[in-house]
Amino acid sequence: MNDYTKHLLSAASPRGNGETILVIEDESGVREIVRRLLEVRGYRTLTAENGADGLVIYRQHSDEVCLVLTDMRMPGVQGTELIRELRMINPDVRIVAMSGVLGENDHIPEEPGRLTFLPKPMTLEELMGAVQRVLTGPDSAAA
């Protein structure tokens, strides 16, 4: 175990209990870092490199995915369309939407315990806080 991993494990941010999170992110470096951070903090992850692949994976694993963590700006299926499609599959899907830049059509209405926005870049604490707010928010059945 390297020093960075030890630091992450000792950090005061919330920990998961094996919940499955689907990470949809087109930038491979960001996707890998987020995946590793989540796994080190006790979550199981599935990953997709774009919205279309994310929808396929979500359909295949919807019974086990507790939360979808998605970028809003990707080639093909954009974040707002992806959120609409996910909600058609499961109206109760819990989502953390991430972006470094939002367009005028990318309005993210906060829904406590169901949907939150996380600006990029983010810290480990911000990432874990957003995940926990959505997983343990009102009427949480995901924990």
User: Strand, coil or helix: what is 143?
Assistant: coil
User: Which of residues 106 and 31 earns the better pLDDT score?
Assistant: 31
C-alpha distances out from residue 95 to 3, 9, 69, 78, Å: 31, 24, 6, 14
Q: How far, in Å, CA of 128 to CA of 124, rounded?
A: 6
All domains of the chain in start order, with CATH: 3-135 (3.40.50.2300)
End-to-end Cα distance, the chain: 28
In this predicted structure, the answer to whether residue 66 has a pLDDT above a threshold of 70 is: yes
pLDDT per position as a tens digit, 110-142: 777 899 998 888 888 899 999 999 998 765 444
* Beta carbons of 22 and 34 less than 8 angstroms apart: no
Q: How far, in Å, CA of 134 to CA of 128, rounded?
A: 10
Q: What is the pTM of this model?
A: 0.83
* Beta carbons of 79 and 73 less than 8 angstroms apart: yes
